[in-house]
Chains A and B, each alone.
Chain A
Amino acid sequence: MTDAAKPKPATDWGRITRDGLWGNNVILAQALALCPTLAVTSTATNGLGMGLATTAVLVLSNLLVSLLRGVITPEVRIPVYIVLIATLVTLVDLGLNAYAHELHKVLGLFIALIVVNCAILGRAESFASKNPAAASALDGLAIGLGFTLVLVVLGGVREVIGSGTLFAGAAQLLGPSFGFLELHLIPDYRGFLLAILPPGGFLALGFLLAGKRLIDARAAANRRRQASAEPVLS
């Protein structure tokens, strides 16, 4: 890494966090990491599990990439990153299989696929390889939590509509202490299956994206209104 490419002192913690969670959200803003997003969100619990596993990998990979950024040459950086990520993912895979077996069964193939979750490589490339370790780790955390957030919301929406429950199986998957999460919202609910079938995943994400648009638009309108109101106030 040459001097010219030295990291910009962009350690604006608040901004990194905000961007990761909302403004530059992997799913809602970048449209990346879509496969796990759609595949595991038939319940909020699954979404939470996947999100946390991915977050762990993200934080670690960002940290390692950032630490190693002096050593790695551009030619082999992609394979090296991939090896790094693959290792982390395999570790998570083994760990979950051994210590959170139920979750492992549900997440299945998608744990392995965290490797190719474009978001992880993307963050390694675009953030961690240019920024100091702490910022990179925070970025990984923010991005990961943003991802988790969307997964949980999406899973929740699909679960409620599809089967009338929320966080079903949380106790089983995450441990008994999570039992309080489980909700049976509508007792005699027939279940609108579409929501938990593949088409429902796409549809729900589509509406979620539209929802984010509306929220952003309203926020922007508010900001404008405030901006125009300020001179009058002062």
Chain B
Amino acid sequence: MSTAVQASLPRGILYQALLLGGFTLLAAALLAVADRVTREPIALRHAEDLNASLSQVMPSEIHDNDLAADPLTLTDAAGAPVLVYRALRAGQVTGVAYQVIGNGYAGEITLILALDAQGQVLGTRVLAHKETPGLGDKIEAAKNDWILAFKGRSLGDPPAERWGVKKDGGTFDQFSGATITPRAVVRAIKGGLEFFAANQTELLAPPR
């Protein structure tokens, strides 16, 4: 009597296992195919994303290369890696772009900063932030022109002690009721400029 149960037991389990295994096999195979098909478009989309944000800060006139291609990896003062995208024209570096991070009111503010070979700001945009909507989010280009004011600035313009918001005796506007966010952005950009100054040679060295 008990043997009957034991006899049916392994068979049942084997069937379950094969059933689930079979389905997983089919599923995995199907997905592998789908992955093959979509891998390329997805990679393309990601590249487009990157290009889109880079092209916002990097004027198209100054380069003839694919900005996203062949980025350079450096380390900043704190030892963290920095991915640098380079604009090339005729093999010469005409501009660089990299991310800088500021410490805003509610968390990190991630910006992309593009400089020309002289260290002048070509453009900067906020990629991600957690600032208060309605207060700190005026740093987004879509909401306010404030961020455009950095264009053309460099480490010496304004002079270092005026690289701050007006409230701290600096050059740049703050928003009424929200000083922390602009202050953080100004600081981050200033930091980015200093990074450029410190690593100028590597940055501008033409790629091999």
Contact = CB atoms under 8 A, between A and B. Distances in A.
A and B touch in their complex, CB below 8 angstroms? yes
A108 to B, nearest CB: 13
A73 B35 CA distance: 30
Contacts of B48: 101
Given A95-B38, A97-B45, A98-B38, A87 B31 contact: yes
B38 A193 contact: no
Given A73-B16, A76-B16, A94 B42 contact: yes
Contacts of A105: 49
Contacts of A76: 16, 19-20
Interface in B15-58: 15-16, 19-20, 23-24, 27, 30-31, 34-35, 37-38, 41-42, 45, 48-49
Interface residues of A, number: 23
B86 to A, nearest CB: 25
A83 B19 contact: no
Interface in B41-99: 41-42, 45, 48-49
Contact of B31 (A79, A90, A97): A90
A98 B41 contact: yes
A205 B15 CA distance: 45
A10 B38 CA distance: 40
A101 B134 CA distance: 28
A84 interface: yes
Interface of B: 12, 15-16, 19-20, 23-24, 27, 30-31, 34-35, 37-38, 41-42, 45, 48-49, 133-134
